[in-house]
Structure 1
Amino acid sequence: MSIQSQVAYSTERANRYIAENKGIVNPLYRNRYHASPPVGWMNDPNGFVQYQGAYHLFYQFHPYDAKWGPMHWGHMKSTDLIHWEDLPVALAPDQAYDRFGCFSGSAIERDGKLYLLYTGVTEADEEGVHHQVQCLAVSEDGLHFDKVQQNPVIPIAALPEDASQIDFRDPKVFEHEGMYYTVIASKASDETGQILLYQSEDLVEWEFASVFLKGTKEQGIMWECPDFFQLDGKDCLIFSPMQWPQDGDDYQNLNSSVLAVGEVDWTTKQFQPASYQELDHGLDYYAPQSLEDDKGRRICIGWMQMWGRDFPTDTLGHGWTGSMTIPRELKWVDGQLKQYPIGIEAKLVQQGENSRIITLEDAKETIPGIEGDCGLLTLKVDTSELDNLNIYLRENENERTVVSFNKEKNELGIDRSTSGIELKGEEATPPVSRKVTLAGDRDYLELAIYLDHSSVEVFERNGEAVMTANVYPTEEATGISFECSGKAVFEEATFTPFV
């Protein structure tokens, strides 16, 4: 019998542990305006939903260690998507059908109640196999959840023939024309990813509807964390494939987050993709989940880490690991996806924009008033006579993170090779830099760069291109400087610290 099967996990035990230990975590790398766990380990966002006037974010949570472990559901809420209030743990692995983990899932409101649909990892069967099944918990107050007696509501018996019983997870529930549906990640017998679709009238009794989308050998070995929604009249499916092959500058990480755009044939209940694109061209972005709020905004948030790499806050014994990205509003503008960062601007202390134009030519300079390690750097640069521009962030004498622009190649890049602690991983070559080719010519470069204590998020032109990376300087690193070959004319350069 394993150690885990002997441990009596419960939400009460988890909440006591958090109360006793949250005050002793090391805050050195804790982000200020990104959702992070009070203690322990955080990964995938779960149950991202608006309920009773607040945004609720659940997440994969191991409270007892800064490493991945027996999965619970942590819980926090916010009214502005920037300040998060920790709430009691929502789910613990305390039943036979979820004894080895309450894995990822989603939330939906029905008749004033909040329903959580999640993956339970079962106790081992006679052959020592842990199956993955789908389970349901319900709350009348959004704080305390009861697992339904009918669990698992989607057992392994409901799987189609060509689907793994141990890779069947991450249900994302939605409503369409009076029927509830959920997309669930699955692995087929040929070691490819696929998305299954189930339907229900009441969220309790479910039936298999279709293989919603089947992957190919060229599209990774397993797809995780699917999310289906309509955006500006387009049918969209987000998923996170493992080992999607590299394609030029795209899919450079071991695991990726992909947006497929197409159309659902609701007669066959199958998704017909027309295009695929990577959502974030940085180094740390996985398992995004979205909601539609009462303002009609499609808001997406992702895990700001990557599997198979070092986690310095664990290695250093800081007692916590993991953060979420800034929430982003997704929109189609002139046929292009834009990801607008939301929430933070209202909470920044405005220092005043530079009223004068600053010109650099074949030089490396600082700009007065532009420095800091936690805030928003906004730039608008005339690049008509520029060759290359390097922006040095979190800079000290020995360390820096570099955001670069190559005018001839029209490439935006990020490089953390000298940012501080080296982040090694399963990749043959340590992941230190990425780049993306921008759409159209750029006589003006417009950047919004969000800095926090261990993260950099770069948004180009309101999110036509986005690059996210974790960084861990080993010394104080608040410097920001600019280096160019050719002429860079800064029509706007503002740093607004978060306080």
Structure 2
Amino acid sequence: MYTLQRANKYIEDTRTQVIKDYRHDYHVMAPVGWINDPNGFIYYEGEYHLFYQYYPYKSVWGPMHWGHSKSKDLVNWESAPVALAPDQWYDKDGCFSGTTIEKDGKIYAMYTGHIEGEKPEDIRQVQCIAVSEDGNHFEKVAQNPVLDEDDLPDNAMPQDFRDPKVIQRGEIYYSLIASKFKDGGGQILLYKSSDLLKWEYVSVLLKGEKEEGYMWECPDLFELDGKDVLIISIDGLPTEGNKFSNTHSVLSIIGKMDWEKGIFHREVCEELDYGLDFYAPQTIMDAKQRRVMVSWMQMWGRNIPTDTLEHGWAGAMTLPRELSIKNNSMYQNPVNEISSYFTNHKVKHNIILIDETKEFADISTEVGVLSLEVNTQGSKRFDIEIRGNDGEKTSLTYDNESGSFILDRKQSGIKIIGKEPEALQQRYVHVKPVNHILKLDIYMDRASVEVFINEGEHTMTSTIYPTKTARKVTLRAKGKVEVLQMERHDIEVKS
């Protein structure tokens, strides 16, 4: 049987056995075992708490627990004891994703209890509450489950009813819960409560068409810069041009929430990240009145080298990002606290390339940020190769003729292969330089790259697993390119 005591003892006994080759310096990871969706992200009593889907016993998905990390600044994280284990009849096969909210000085966690059956149709997913008075230790309430199949509308399937997101409006709490409808496709259901224990069904907040993915997950709803934003993670959203190439995608929908009718009206839909490893994000409004988001930095259905190489762990979270809306589009930028950990600054100005290649050994970094400001006027193509050494590299390319920015990890190191019909090793996003100027901030950790384009207008997040030490940054141009500025900072976080 799974218990908190068993999980925490196992972690304590095995955490020193983890192989550290690809362990990140400034991204959240579990001390040992498997990690996926962020859960229960909250700012409470002066600390950020991030819970997550967790299976401590192997570096593959298993009966879900809630792991727990804490930080005072969103950068330097420390592991805390496991918060939830699947130890009750209503969550015996997994404490699935959910959120937390503060009420009367306590943290209330709402999560999905997963119950397997002998046949797929016997699976049940129910909603549960656990309460903490200190942010660390949780007690599951006697009323659990607080929502089950009897609380579903007629069109919803009890086998897929999960990932509650709780928000407060005045004296009323609302919960958005992902669901699959019987005719096929995803939907978001809305419930309300005055005490977080007794819930009442309100409406189908948003219903997808069959061609919009067969299951919606991990909903999030918030106000930002005068707009309402709904974020959903989607299983099986068909590829559309350069969009939705991964097996699972994240959609940001800017629109208007009608709270009287409990219906969300779409205005603008866009993919939230154009990389290869980004799923199940969760956001909070913190004490600084910022909307901060963190996401799982991995993708379903692909090999994870730290598992296949038996390193004893798998999965991590993105660098937390501050969200904003500009020109009716979502912008993402790293939280500014990361700059407190910048060291070893190097900068170069006015690098001119005309149909040539230049290498820079003194500006390379494995754990740090490389920022460039590039004048693309007169160029056909501009390449940046990072983490370079003897044939290994991660390539970032701006094609001026097509307006495409491309991230390519074909030669990044250990190959990542997934369920896609063809191995997906690169993705691209359409980018328009501002007055011919392209701005890039490229954040690297031991096994990841996060690219912020034009001050957060687009992002591309991917894992990479180099087998060689980074030795150089390479710039390559077709036509004329002027790099107005290129600067490097290492990032040093001492936990």
Structure 2 length-normalised TM:
0.97
> Once the 2 structures are TM-superposed, how far is the Cα of residue 336 of structure 1 from its aligned partner?
2.9
Question: Counterpart of 1:345?
Answer: 339
Q: Partners in 1 of 2:77 and 2:435 — Cα distance?
A: 37
> Once the 2 structures are TM-superposed, how far is the Cα of residue 440 of structure 1 from its aligned partner?
5.9
The counterpart of 1:303, out of the listed 263, 287, 296, is: 296
User: Do structure 1's residue 262 and structure 2's residue 255 form an aligned pair?
Assistant: yes
Q: Partners in 2 of 1:63 and 1:332 — Cα distance?
A: 38
The counterpart of 2:132, out of the listed 102, 121, 139, is: 139
Residue 157 of structure 2 aligns to a residue in which SS?
coil
What is the percent sequence identity of the aligned residues?
47
CA contact (8 A) 1:341 1:462 kept: no
User: Do structure 1's residue 35 and structure 2's residue 32 form an aligned pair?
Assistant: no
> Once the 2 structures are TM-superposed, how far is the Cα of residue 125 of structure 1 from its aligned partner?
7.5
Question: Counterpart of 1:76?
Answer: 69
Count matched residues: 491
Residue 183 of structure 2 aligns to a residue in which SS?
coil
Question: Counterpart of 1:481?
Answer: 474
Q: Partners in 1 of 2:363 and 2:119 — Cα distance?
A: 63
> Once the 2 structures are TM-superposed, how far is the Cα of residue 334 of structure 1 from its aligned partner?
3.4
Unpaired segments ≥5 residues, structure 2: none
> Once the 2 structures are TM-superposed, how far is the Cα of residue 353 of structure 1 from its aligned partner?
2.9
CA contact (8 A) 1:373 1:478 kept: no
Q: Aligned pair in 2 of structure 1 residues 23, 160: CA closer, same or farther (>3 Å)?
A: same
Q: What are the residue-to-residue correspondences of 1:309-320 with 2, within 5 Å?
A: 309-320=302-313
Residue 356 of structure 2 aligns to a residue in which SS?
strand
The counterpart of 2:88, out of the listed 87, 95, 106, is: 95
Q: Aligned pair in 2 of structure 1 residues 305, 88: CA closer, same or farther (>3 Å)?
A: same
Measured against aligned partners, the alpha-carbon deviations of 1:390-440 in whole angstroms (never above 9, x if no partner) come to 111111112111000011222111001111111111111111001111146
User: Do structure 1's residue 158 and structure 2's residue 126 form an aligned pair?
Assistant: no
Question: Counterpart of 2:465?
Answer: 472
Structure 1 length-normalised TM:
0.96
CA contact (8 A) 2:361 2:472 kept: no
User: Do structure 1's residue 50 and structure 2's residue 46 form an aligned pair?
Assistant: no
Unpaired segments ≥5 residues, structure 1: 1-7
> Once the 2 structures are TM-superposed, how far is the Cα of residue 382 of structure 1 from its aligned partner?
1.3
CA contact (8 A) 1:192 1:215 kept: yes
Residue identity opposite 2:243 in structure 1: D
Q: Partners in 1 of 2:456 and 2:208 — Cα distance?
A: 28
Q: Partners in 1 of 2:382 and 2:193 — Cα distance?
A: 54
Question: Counterpart of 2:167?
Answer: 174
> Once the 2 structures are TM-superposed, how far is the Cα of residue 209 of structure 1 from its aligned partner?
0.7
CA contact (8 A) 1:97 1:123 kept: no
> Once the 2 structures are TM-superposed, how far is the Cα of residue 498 of structure 1 from its aligned partner?
1.6
Residue identity opposite 1:279 in structure 2: L
Q: Partners in 2 of 1:400 and 1:261 — Cα distance?
A: 36
Q: Partners in 1 of 2:488 and 2:359 — Cα distance?
A: 12
Question: Counterpart of 2:421?
Answer: 428
Return structure 1 stretches of 4+ with deviation > 3 angstroms. Answer: 123-128, 439-442
> Once the 2 structures are TM-superposed, how far is the Cα of residue 369 of structure 1 from its aligned partner?
2.4
> Once the 2 structures are TM-superposed, how far is the Cα of residue 477 of structure 1 from its aligned partner?
3.0
> Once the 2 structures are TM-superposed, how far is the Cα of residue 349 of structure 1 from its aligned partner?
0.7
CA contact (8 A) 2:360 2:472 kept: no
Question: Counterpart of 2:440?
Answer: 447
CA contact (8 A) 2:346 2:363 kept: no
Residue 190 of structure 1 aligns to a residue in which SS?
coil
Measured against aligned partners, the alpha-carbon deviations of 1:457-495 in whole angstroms (never above 9, x if no partner) come to 100112101001111112223421111111221211111
Residue 291 of structure 1 aligns to a residue in which SS?
strand
The counterpart of 1:322, out of the listed 315, 328, 332, is: 315
Question: Counterpart of 2:108?
Answer: 115
> Once the 2 structures are TM-superposed, how far is the Cα of residue 126 of structure 1 from its aligned partner?
9.6
Residue 138 of structure 1 aligns to a residue in which SS?
strand
Residue 347 of structure 2 aligns to a residue in which SS?
coil
Q: What are the residue-to-residue correspondences of 1:269-288 with 2, within 5 Å?
A: 269-288=262-281
CA contact (8 A) 2:387 2:471 kept: yes
Residue identity opposite 1:346 in structure 2: S
User: Do structure 1's residue 59 and structure 2's residue 46 form an aligned pair?
Assistant: no
CA contact (8 A) 2:129 2:140 kept: yes
Residue identity opposite 2:97 in structure 1: S
Considering only aligned residues, what root-mean-square deviation do their CA atoms show, in Å? 1.4
User: Do structure 1's residue 210 and structure 2's residue 210 form an aligned pair?
Assistant: no
Residue 90 of structure 2 aligns to a residue in which SS?
helix
Q: Aligned pair in 2 of structure 1 residues 403, 449: CA closer, same or farther (>3 Å)?
A: same
User: Do structure 1's residue 239 and structure 2's residue 232 form an aligned pair?
Assistant: yes
Residue 211 of structure 2 aligns to a residue in which SS?
helix
Residue identity opposite 1:494 in structure 2: E
Residue 295 of structure 1 aligns to a residue in which SS?
coil
> Once the 2 structures are TM-superposed, how far is the Cα of residue 112 of structure 1 from its aligned partner?
0.4
